[in-house]
Amino acid sequence: MKTSIRLLLLLLLIASAVLLAQTSTSLISGTVRDNTGAVVPDAAVTLIHEDTGVSYKQKTTQAGMYSFPSVPVGPYTVTIEMQGFRTARLLKKVLQVNTPLTVDVTLELGQLSDVVSVEGSADVIQTANATIGNVVTSKAATELPLNGRNPLALLVLEPGVVQRSYGGAGSGIHVNGSRDRAYNVTIDGIEANESTVPNPMSNLYRLTPDNIQEFKVTTSNATPEEGRNSGANISVATRQGSNAFHGTAFWFLRNTALNSNEFFANAQGAQKPDIKMNQYGAEISGPIKRNKTFFFFSWADQKVNTTQPVDQTFGVITMYTPSALAGNHRYWVADPKTPFVLNGQTITRNSTALVDRNTGALLPGVRNCAGAGDTNCVASYNFAAADPKGIGVDQTIAKLFASYPKPNNFATGDGLNTAGYTWNPPANFRGPNYMARLDHQFNENNSIFFRALWGNYNTLKGDPLNGRPSVFPGFTPLGEVYRTTRNYALSYRRVISPRVVNEFTAGLSRFLFLFTQGEANPTWPNVVPYSFNNASLPFINTPRTFRAVTTPQLLDNLSVIKG
């Protein structure tokens, strides 16, 4: 009895796991009538995919209805034949991912050999569900400008999508007021999310405009198949081969020499960030056997070298001035009775207003104290020489600070003993990605496809996204990131009977993230075991962190046609 209960619970669990199956296919259906409006049963309906030549056949029900569930997206020709009527042929009926298409047909009296062809018609309102969203085609992804060639970036063009400016936590993208991590992305029905930060803009599996057929963005009223999250639900259909051979090669270039500096960076005298972006690759597709077996393969690689202001990736760098490193502590001696005013600002303590922001030299009108009792001036105290034990500046600390560059920004710190350092630390992005897909039609009732996505995407010489760049030039970075991703899908479509169709998909998604952190330093863990309250440290004491998530999936769509 207990064994039976366990088996029942297991079956219920499996059923619940495959009940809501979101895939990359869709549905074409309609009703066939004569010119009086009466339905036409037993009419022969043939559906032909115009790119591959793959065909599907069935007859209308007693209610004159037909339905082709779980068929690949793309342009179709719908042909209806019935004795006593002219043959109707409707061309270029475009089926989109997870967007059911209704093609109703009215037959005209006449000979079966007479063919009435219709190409193009008025748009039909989608009445199968009340979802709100849009389908982004491969044409839009390849022809619209994309920063970084991430096709999912077109999400921000959808109504109801708001993208926050720089500095916001999370992905900064909200759909109809939802949280910025309330997304669900699937590729051919297989889950494709980074579980800790489900942000479609991160493009975890490195999709490109060349290897997607299209994707649907549902922003409201998602169907049970789609609606896992309250924000956008994104269904991606990958490209497949066709009866014609196709091949392209590309190389996209961005270079600092072609860019201008930002207005505020120019105003502050900041150096223009460096960006040298090279993205290149190729794709090829075609038939292995016409109307039956097709292949698609794409490869993309990149060599991207960038720099980014350190205050955006690490924060404000604070360091000691040369005089402080020599053992001299400088301080402002104020006269409460006659306050010192410089450029409209009253000076009562150490201030960056006393010095030139670029050199640290005292501004005109600011002087060093002539002796004890002098006021409204800068005094010095040689703490190294005054050390009663005669030790002075600790040599280990002095050696560390001597390895730092000289401060170049005296607009931070206290102006006299501490200052800042600004520069643009580097970050290099490397890693190829691949996609392969094979489609095969055994016969009208059985078809299968297999698709694989795999690649690497590594951030080297620093990890600016997580605040771990190189703090100073010549120092090792505070971390690097190594990303390995895999995503597989195997789908089998079976026409069990003229009224029952089953689509079964098995898949696996896996990603591995390695954040090296302290181990990015070859001398780790032999780094300084301390930190400073008023000086930045170019080392990190934490070891690596590692994250790996593997998600196996089974999806099943059983369609039963009645009417």
What pLDDT score was predicted for residue 550?
94
SS3 (DSSP) at 11 = helix
Alpha-carbon separation of residue 152 from 139, 188, 251, 281 (angstroms): 13, 15, 20, 19
Q: Nearest-CA neighbor of 106 among 46, 57, 38?
A: 38
Half-sphere exposure of 479 (CA within 13 A, CB side): 22
What pLDDT score was predicted for residue 176?
81
What pLDDT score was predicted for residue 416?
95
Fill in the amino acid letter for 65: M
Q: What is the dihedral sign for C-alpha 256, 258, 262, 263?
A: positive
- pTM for the model: 0.82
What pLDDT score was predicted for residue 126?
65
Tell me the backbone φ, ψ of residue 112, rounded to 5 degrees: -65, -30
**10-residue mean pLDDT series, the chain (563 residues):** 43 36 82 93 94 93 92 93 92 89 91 82 63 83 86 86 63 76 87 79 86 86 69 89 94 88 78 89 96 96 93 92 92 93 92 93 94 93 88 87 93 93 94 96 94 96 92 94 96 92 95 92 84 89 90 92 77
Q: Work out the number of other CB atoms within 10 angstroms of the CB of residue 347.
A: 18
What pLDDT score was predicted for residue 463?
93
What pLDDT score was predicted for residue 16?
33
What pLDDT score was predicted for residue 20?
42
What pLDDT score was predicted for residue 8?
38
